[in-house]
Structure 1
Amino acid sequence: MPSTQHLLLKQLLASATGTLTGKVPKLAAMRLGFEVLSLGQVMPWNVFLEDANVDGMAAEWVRPAAAQAERVLLYLHGGGYVLGSLNTHRGLVGALAQRCELATLAINYRKAPEYPFPAALEDALLAFRWLQKQGYAAHNIMVAGDSAGGGLAFALALALRDAQEALPAAVIGLSPWTDLALPPPVLRRVTHEESQVLEAFEIRGWGPLYAAETPLAHPLLSPVHADLHRLPPLLIQVSDAEVLSDDVVRFANKARAAGTPVTLQVFEGLVHWWHLFWRFVPEARLALDRVANFTHTIWAAQLASKQAA
């Protein structure tokens, strides 16, 4: 049963987006609105920010005081490949970095439609390789992302595998977008279920903006259509009430069948992007705590393997 705080959040989101239903807000207005909403964020205590330049791409280090020296997290924000920035996700990244005790590099990857596929993926690859040039071994890098950023994190791992490059220690997807093709069952949920946020922002138009001339079912656009063998351990969190939940579960089951270690955590009755509201929604804090537990388990398994060797 969702918390009272979450029920209140759901009502506020429904009220805020209800007037947009059936309309198509201009992309510039959506971007501005998201940036304005981000002004109310507060960073967790003892988490520090530092501007970074990743071979010409704007980025930001989010460093908790207790960060491990040799390990790092690469974070890819969500926003349907068209929205979002370092500003919009700073609080979430700070909360995650603090719990995981990891210095976290958040990048401002290029957005569609100005920069369609594969621009975002190229930027994610650039950041991962840049971290290695800074001295971080691939097995000491984790990659995480929410929504479209989660799908992008999976695409990053697929691209590294196909290029026969070293893979990250693990990949974490928070409500990841794994199928831009949006099959008919998903479209029916968008149309008929209580999904005001995604409906108001016209999720059906986001995928084509990013894909441009590339088929939506391309495996680096829609990882659910990829060959999912030989990937690092995956942590996937999703709510059963999300529009994209069926695709996420399908992706997780396919990855397991391919032999990839998958931890799937399904939450009950929560809105998409509930992680963003960690300051006042207890389910969001619980989800982030579970991410931290997963990362600590991965590091412990690495240490045990090294000691046994």
Structure 2
Amino acid sequence: MSSRQRADVAARFRHPRPDAQPGTPPSIEAIRAGFKALMAGMRVPETVRTAATTLGGLPALRVEPAAGGAGTSAAGTILYFHGGGWVCGSPETALSVTGHLVAKTGIAAYSVDYRLAPEHPFPAAIDDTLSAYRELLERGVDPSSIAFAGESAGGGLAVTTCLAARDAGLPLPTALAIFSPGLDATRSGESMRTKEDVDPFFTRESVGRTGAMYLAGADPHQPLLSPALYADLAGFPPMLIQVGTNEILLDDSTRLAARARQAGIDVILDVTADVPHVFQSLVGLLDEADEALERAALFLGQRIGRA
């Protein structure tokens, strides 16, 4: 672990403002273009291959180990939900995380291209991710061989998709692995204030602006929008939550972990010091990124393998 690496990352990504004048909020087009450009610079392993497909009536990306790669042909499915604050991102922007999970576990993934706000606000994204999961079940895939995973907004969707699946009477997946999840649309965590000076990506104002696009007037005080505060996690599968200390969403993770423990759910809260939001995507820039993905791969492999 390198303090120099962590300092370089913080300096490189300090509060980007894509295509915006000082004091002027960026347009949704600028936000999407800036996020796509940022994530295009992240490292994707050469030992995976991708193919466009559909799942639940939605575009999706299938990511699997390349022929001849180490750990190929492992049983199971990772259903992956990308990040981007519910307003931007795609399966392609998440490939730095999805690809490394697939490469390290040998387990293929489907990454869902769910609808985005503001064109499609809450609950469109949850409807889409639930449809994708439902189709896997309808294909005969055993839920005990499926794990949900996701980063940022996608980490939040992994949790809320579980809630929606349980409410619909569907069997739940065998595990959740979530990275810097967004779990509180009320933005009431203490870290929203205490971590703003060290978070290189977000401010309370910036997440509030994109969050409002997703809410579109909906009350954030409900389980599908703020599961860290309001979700009943009874019956949930084991969870791995990874988060860094240098992010304003830190308390989203710590509070969900506390709720999981209170509900009697197996939960691993994996907190890495002095790293930012979704640091797992920074393979090649942070030693901690590769180490965290190794731990996530071990968790997924154990849970899916046990099933």
So what's the TM-score if we normalise by structure 2?
Answer: 0.91
- Compared CA separation, residues 189 and 15, structure 1 to 2 (3 A): closer
Partner letter of residue 121 of structure 2?
P
**Alignment match, 1:177:** 182
Residue 306 of structure 1 corresponds to none
The correspondence of residues 214-229 of structure 1 with structure 2, limited to 5 A, is 214-224=218-228, 225-229=230-234
Cα deviation, residue 279, structure 1:
2.8
What's the CA shift for 1:186?
Answer: 4.0
Q: Which ranges of structure 2 fall in alignment gaps of 5 or more residues?
A: none
Q: Please say which of residues 227-236 and 65-74 is displaced more in the overlay.
A: 65-74
The alpha carbon displacement at 1:28 in A equals: 0.8
Q: After the TM superposition, which of the residue ranges 33-42 and 206-215 deviates more from structure 2?
A: 33-42
1:202 alignment partner, SS class: helix
**Which residue in the other structure is 2:129 paired with?**
124
Query: 1:58: which partner in 2?
Result: 59
Residue identity matched to 2:113: N
**Which residue of structure 2 lines up, in the alignment, with residue 212 of structure 1?**
216
SS of corresponding position for 1:232: coil
Question: What is the rounded CA distance, in whole Å, between the counterparts of 1:193 and 1:151 in structure 2?
Answer: 24
Q: Secondary structure at the match of 1:165?
A: coil
Instruction: State which drifts further: 143-152 or 36-45.
Output: 36-45
Q: 1:264 to 1:109 in 2, by over 3 A?
A: same
What SS does the aligned partner of 1:63 have?
strand
Percent identity for Structure 1 against Structure 2? 36
Query: Following superposition of structure 1 onto structure 2, how do residues 1-309 of structure 1 map, counting pairs within 5 Å?
Result: 2-14=2-14, 16-17=16-17, 22-65=23-66, 66-68=71-73, 70-183=75-188, 185-189=190-194, 193-199=197-203, 202-224=206-228, 225-302=230-307
Give the letter aligned to residue 289 of structure 1. E
Maintained 8 Å contact 1:2/1:270 = no
Q: Residue type matched to 1:59 in 2?
A: A
- TM-aligned CA deviation for residue 196 of structure 1: 3.8
Q: Which TM-score applies when normalising by structure 1?
A: 0.90
Q: 1:241 offset after TM fit, Å?
A: 2.2
Residues 208 and 216 of structure 1 are in contact (CA less than 8 Å); yes or no, is this contact kept in structure 2? Answer: no
Q: 1: distance between equivalents of 2:206 and 2:60?
A: 28
Q: Is the 8 A contact 1:17 1:196 kept in 2?
A: no
Q: Which runs of 5+ in 1 are unaligned?
A: 303-309
CA RMSD of aligned residues (A): 2.2
Change (3 A) 1:179 1:44: same
| AA in 2 matched with 1:159 | A
Amino acid of the residue matched to residue 202 of structure 2?
A: L
* Structure 2 counterpart SS, 1:197: coil
